[in-house]
Amino acid sequence: MDASAVRFQESLQSFDPLLSVRWGDFVQKWVIQRRSLIPDAEMKFLGNERRRLEGKVALGAEQKIVDRYKGVAEEHECARQGCRVILFVSEFSPKIFDTLALGDIRRYGGYSRYTDKMDEVVEQQEKMKEREEENKRAVYHAEAWGRRGIYDFLTRKRLTDIHQFGVRDMRTLLGTDVFKGVK
């Protein structure tokens, strides 16, 4: 790696310690990559895609397929090193830092992260409120219909009236308001 690439990599790592720079033999550009966990399924996919595109390129594919092959091959090389491709650059300039910072703001931080956290807080509050309402409904239900609730009290009272006092009149048992207007 030449001296400018070494200085640029040092600057990158002060920005993000997981970033590194290497020369990409396939794309013939500098590759800015970030250390990352690459799942086995993705490694397998990249390997298969690289072999498939390599076969097409060997048969004389159009430029679009060749460019895709170069990109996939670089992705596969990065994945084998435990990294992800972030950016391909021809030369080092301050614009690269701006691009990386903008990407990080969109992907990992800035307003997006803030709104995500706020959405989480609102969602948790809504869930908590719903849980409280559910608990209230359960208490009201138990109070009205549960064991020793209002319904049981009224049933016991009426049964007691029937058995103890011999009351058989429905108007008395159900209350006089029930039959108002009925003759």
Domain segments of the chain as ranges: 3-108, 123-179
CB pairs under 8 A, 24+ apart, for 67-76?
69/26, 70/26, 70/27, 71/26, 71/27, 72/46, 73/26, 74/24, 74/26, 74/27, 74/31, 75/46, 76/46, 76/47, 76/49, 76/50
Residue 38's pLDDT is 87
Residue 126's pLDDT is 95
Per-residue pLDDT of the chain (183 residues; tens, 9 = 90+): 678 778 877 877 777 788 888 888 899 998 888 888 888 998 999 899 899 988 888 888 788 888 888 989 999 999 999 998 888 888 888 788 777 777 765 555 555 565 677 788 889 999 999 999 999 998 888 777 777 777 777 777 777 767 676 666 666 666 665 455 555
Distances (CA, A) of 5 to 23, 93, 97: 9, 11, 14
Residue 153's pLDDT is 77
Residue 130's pLDDT is 95
Residue 127's pLDDT is 96
Residue 167's pLDDT is 66
Residue 106's pLDDT is 59
Instruction: With 0.85 as the threshold, say if the pTM is over it.
Output: no
Tokens 């310690």 belong to residue: 17
Helix (H) or strand (E) holding 21: strand 19-24
